[in-house]
Chains A and B, each alone.
Chain A
Amino acid sequence: MQFSRRDAPFVTPSQSVPVIMQQVLFALIPAALAHVWYFGFGFVLNLLVAAIFCAAGEYFMLRLRKRAIEQFLYDYSAMVTAALIAFALPSLTPWWVTATASLFAIVVAKHLYGGLGFNIFNPAMAGYVVVLVAFPLDLNLWTAPRMGDLDYHYLTFSEIARYTLTGTFPDYLSFDAISRATPLDSVKSGLVGMQTFQELQTLPMMGDFGGRGWEWIGNFTAMGGGWLLLRKIIRWQIPLGVFAGLLLPAGIMYLLQPGIHASPGFYLFSGGTILCAFFIATDPVSAATSDRGRLVYGFGIGFLIYAIRRWGSYADGVAFAVLLMNMATPAIDYLTRPRIVGHVKDERKT
């Protein structure tokens, strides 16, 4: 069996796994605050449920596999998974949906593959895709972001807690009164229904580039991501690749036919693009390991996000795009082994 087993160079030798994971969690704080501001306390409840079940799954699997519980349970990697799941889910999610996602992420996608450092698929995205396929209705229930609309009922804490625990609303509330199509949903169905993108941009839910609220969450996420870049916890190749892979096709299509395609700015600032570029795609275990490989990997994710949003039936393609490129990662690593790329002569000299 001949293949390279380089350690991911995301990690400078002086930094250990818990330190890195802690810093990733710190970097997510601005985005989390923005998320709570725009979508309410549901995010905190989801985070709590996800954290409990991720930790429980981790503990359970470590015991079953007879591994050092202290070392792995306190490395915060399960907490990063929990945080990413909480970001992916709508702020109103019944606890069993979050629990399913968390347990699948930790037990199946992480520990059955050998635990931290061996997982082929990004655990959080694998868990999210499972609940997206298994509970499609629950994952459609996005509330409107808080933007001071007077006619919209913003949920109180007890209403949110009740929904998270029981999956039901009080009698005076209904599913339809609360849920709002996300900007990605409305633009997709609007474009299919022969409306032009310029018409769709005048909808009240649309902001300067993406959806209202969403674009601010994006900005705060990018702040955290930029901090990670500065601290060299993540490298620039993957975010650049994701943005290029998304914006190039989106930009070309928009320039060719601005009416029937959404603008690149819209795709950048809606859904999970920015979170994906800085936090999800950069998972050091499931991403490609060489520099060139990372560019290809990031570009592939960006392009698949665009393709799924534009032509697929799912509104956002981040999770699918990440999983699809995860499964291509071993092949990308195999094909971008440095010695294949014109380094053959150098290697012979040395």
Chain B
Amino acid sequence: MTDLILILIGTVLVNNFVLVRFLGLCPFMGVSKNIEAAAGMSMATAFVLTLSSAASYLLHEYVLLPLQLEYLRTIAFILVIAASVQFTELMVRRLSPLLDQVLGIFIPLIATNCAVLGVAILNVQEAKGFVQSVFFGFGAALGFALVLIMFAAIRERLDASDVPLSFRGTAIALMTAGIMSLAFMGFSGMARM
């Protein structure tokens, strides 16, 4: 139980995938223009990340390892991720047409979110168990959601700010991401296992 909590704290705060490991920056910049879209994207990513980290763990443990096909790891994981993104897209379209409209193009973007592949590969590298892998994926998604929603709220405020012309939009957003990343260095050293 303690190690699961530590995994959560570790992935959400200490080794946040966006601000500390710098993975998943494309949706971080792309879908952070308003809070609703960011929240929807966070939920979709959380779903995909948890699902794909479970699936990729099972695939690695019960298919690739016994058949000694570890060298196919990256391709196999990409397939699994693509499949779970497709699955999520179908689910969203059926369950919530509104969310589908808001997210639209961004759901396929999850497939190219390097955080998703990063989680799958880190899971295998650090040789965690099944439950730990699922928590690792879920924690990564929580951390992603946390910073994405905070960032979206900041950007909404920045839109109304008197930012110098040459820094409007992406430039000031990138600077903000940098300062956020600096602030996250404060968590370094926590949740050592």
Where the two chains meet, the residues of A that have a C-beta atom closer than 8 Å to any C-beta of B are 1, 3, 5, 64-65, 108-109, 111-115, 118, 120-121, 126, 129-130, 133, 304, 307-308, 311-314, 317, 319-321, 323-324, 326-328, 330-331, 333-334
User: Across the A-B interface, how many residue pairs have beta carbons closer than 8 Å?
Assistant: 101
Task: Compute how far the CA of A317 lies from the CA of B182 in the bound complex, rounded to whole angstroms.
Answer: 13
Please determine whether A314 and B180 come into contact, CB atoms closer than 8 angstroms: no
Known interface pairs A323-B179, A323-B182, A330-B156; A313-B189 also in contact (CB < 8 Å): yes
A114, A129, A312: the one within 8 Å of B163 (CB): A114
Task: Compute how far the CA of A5 lies from the CA of B160 in the bound complex, rounded to whole angstroms.
Answer: 9
Given known contacts A327-B180, A328-B150, A331-B150, what 17 new A-B pairs fall within 8 Å (CB)?
A5-B160, A112-B163, A113-B163, A113-B172, A114-B164, A120-B176, A121-B179, A121-B183, A126-B179, A126-B182, A129-B183, A311-B189, A312-B186, A312-B189, A313-B188, A330-B157, A334-B35
Task: Compute how far the CA of A308 lies from the CA of B155 in the bound complex, rounded to whole angstroms.
Answer: 27
Query: What is the distance, in angstroms, from B91's C-beta to the closest C-beta of chain A?
Result: 27
By beta carbon, the residue of chain A nearest B159 is A1
Known interface pairs A312-B188, A327-B180, A330-B150; A112-B172 also in contact (CB < 8 Å): yes
Known interface pairs A118-B161, A317-B186; A3-B156 also in contact (CB < 8 Å): yes
Known interface pairs A129-B183, A308-B187, A323-B182; A330-B163 also in contact (CB < 8 Å): no
Please determine whether A133 and B164 come into contact, CB atoms closer than 8 angstroms: no
Q: How large is the interface on B (under 10, 10 to 19, 20 to 34, 35 or more residues)?
A: 20 to 34
Please determine whether A130 and B182 come into contact, CB atoms closer than 8 angstroms: yes
Asked if B126 is at the interface (CB within 8 A of a chain A CB), the reply is no
Interface flags, B129-166, vs A, CB<8A=1, else 0: 00000000000000000000111011011111111100
Please determine whether B182 and A129 come into contact, CB atoms closer than 8 angstroms: yes
Q: Write out the residue numbers on chain A whose beta carbons fall within 8 Å of the beta carbon of B127.
A: none
B35, B149, B164, B190: the one within 8 Å of A65 (CB): B164
Q: Write out the residue numbers on chain A whose beta carbons fall within 8 Å of the beta carbon of B156.
A: 1, 3, 330, 334
